[in-house]
Structures are given as structure tokens and as C-alpha cells.
Copies of this chain bind each other. A is one copy, B any other.
Amino acid sequence: MSLKIPALDPMTLEPRTGSGYPEPYRSRCLPREKRQLGTALGLTKIGINQTILPPGKESSMRHWHTHEEEFIYVLSGEVVLVTDAGEQLLKAGTCAGFPLGTQDGHQLVNRSSQPAVYLEISNRDPKDRAYYSDVDMVFHGVSANPMFTRRDGTGF
């Protein structure tokens, strides 16, 4: 039987398949499916996505946030977590967390031959910015226009 709010089967949601990234970063992440569970459930304080990352793809470029902490939990498959400390293999049932303001960029890379599925969760703060460790890009917030610039403020 299908579930009704406040319950939800994530796979009944249409996924978000785009990315605000400019090229060539967009193609390093897509195709990728994000189902916005928190929004579908009426939550406003916490953002919750269930993401499917295909083999060979990256969750994001390595980055850290100024005002939003992040948590990820691997549901199936496996991903490689990349941070300043190096690489760690995260299998299903393991997780990682990134306190806000810690200037250690992170990303997940699927180096396996199977899709990886994980939850990504963060508090929501309109003041948030994200800085990218390895590429010349800054994120200015979901309502900013442009959302992404180079570090000197120029657009892509």
C-alpha cells in the first residue's frame, strides 16, 4: 500500500537531475539523481536528499560550508570520501559529518561499478557560502544570482 504524509517512500518522488555548476564541473557530477525528502515532508529547518551517484561520478567538487553542517549516510553501494586527510572507503551503513566553518573540503567519488545511494543532510541557513578546495569557484547561496562565481567574483 502506498504511504501517505507524514510517511513517504522516497522512490515515489521525481528526482532532481540538474546541477547549478558550470562546466566542466557539471559533467563530473551528472547524471545524478537527488530526491528531496525533507521538502516533500514539509520540513524547513533541515534539508534531506536521497542521492543516487552512478559509477565514475562525483557528488560535488571538494568544498566546505560557512554556515551549514553536513551529514552523509551510505545506504547502498560504496563511495570514496576525499578530504585533506586523504581517501576513505565508505561502505553501506557508514557515515561522515562536516562541521560548518572547518576549512577542509570534502567530496564523494563513486569508483565502483555499481550506483551508490546515500542520504545527505544539512541545516538550512540563507547566509551560507561554500568554498571549493581544488577549483576556482565560490557558492553564494541558493537564492543568489549568479549562484556560482569565480573567487574574484566574476561569473562563468
Residues of A within 8 A of B (CB): 3-4, 6-11, 37-38, 40-46, 48, 68-69, 71, 73, 75, 81, 83, 85, 88, 90, 93-100, 104, 106, 119, 121-123
Contact = CB atoms under 8 A, between A and B. Distances in A.
A52 to B, nearest CB: 13
Contacts of A44: 69, 99
B3 A85 contact: no
A90 B5 CA distance: 12
Contact of A7 (B46, B95, B104, B119): B95
22 contacts: A3-B90, A4-B85, A6-B97, A6-B98, A7-B88, A7-B94, A8-B95, A11-B93, A37-B97, A38-B97, A40-B97, A41-B96, A41-B97, A42-B97, A43-B69, A45-B123, A46-B69, A46-B122, A48-B71, A48-B97, A71-B121, A73-B119
A94 B43 contact: no
